[in-house]
A and B are shown apart, each in its own frame.
Chain A
Amino acid sequence: MAMVTEELPGGITKVILDGRLDIEGAAAVDLPMNVIAGSRKAVLVDLQNVSFLGSMGLRALVAPARAIKGRGGRIVLFGPNESVEKVLKSSGIDTLIPIHHELQSALAALA
């Protein structure tokens, strides 16, 4: 699992995840995601290149999301594939972190 961050205009941090968000993938992004959650208030998590998501991966998304929201910030998920989205919706995480498939709507949700 690779993770890259980009700073976008408007104080938005884009986190690009690439690979499998499985047990190993979740372990790899846990710390950097929590660092971001502790310091950013508008975060877009790009899931376009995430090919797998399991319950450990869900945890790696939910914990930072709660931290960001707890500080009054916003976080959105962008571009999950159909299977990954099904995992997100099965666990109800879409009610905590909105899912967007259009970049403009994702950015607008963070504005």
Chain B
Amino acid sequence: METPKSAVTGNSMDQFHDQRDLRSRLSDIAQIPIWIGQLALRYNIHEDLQFAMDLCLEEALSNIIIYGYLREEGRPLTVRFAAPRDGCFVFEVEDEAPLFNPLEAPELPPLDPDHEIRIGGQGIRLLRRFAHKLAYEPTTKGNLLRIEFLQNGEVSS
């Protein structure tokens, strides 16, 4: 476990308890659900919320690797975890990719069974649906995305 560090994100200062440093390979994402499982045991996170965390991190990380880093391997990608208060869990995803704010990106409409030929483009939609709160800020090197989950909060459907 890393030495806890603080970061100011959104409107709060979080004490980060743990982090994973990835190297921008899609295969690296496989370690995230294992990590979330460990966090779930430690913090008694229920199954639905584990699923939401798993989903949001897969979508955020794969978007950065595919569209931010254009699949270039070896680029830095850090995920930090904090539990700033009871039942509240925060992940921060930091990269050095070109600036991209997923909160401002247009959300693609749901698939249209009659006319739609598009298949992809659902990642940001899922991120917004399954996270309780998202915050973004550009950094000197890239992007910082803060994804917040509440143990007893409602996720939009």
Contacts and interface: CB of A to CB of B under 8 A. Distances in A.
- Say whether A and B bind each other: yes
Nearest to A93: B111
Interface in B32-60: 33, 47-48, 51-52, 54-55, 58-59
Interface stretch (B76-84, B115-123, B142-150): B115-123
6 contacts: A22-B58, A54-B58, A58-B119, A58-B122, A90-B110, A96-B111
B17 interface: no
Interface string B59-87: 10010000000000000000000000000
Interface of A: 20, 22-24, 52-56, 58-59, 62-63, 66, 82-83, 86-87, 89-93, 95-96
B119 A23 contact: no
Interface stretch (B4-12, B23-31, B91-99, B133-141): B23-31
B106 interface: no
Q: Size class of B's contact patch? A: 20 to 34
Contacts of A86: 129-130, 157
Contacts of B129: 86, 90
Contact of A24 (B30, B112, B130): B30
Interface of B: 26-27, 29-30, 33, 47-48, 51-52, 54-55, 58-59, 62, 109-113, 116-117, 119-120, 122-123, 125-126, 129-130, 157
Contacts of A23: 26, 29, 58, 62
Contacts of B119: 58-59, 62-63, 66
A51 to B, nearest CB: 8
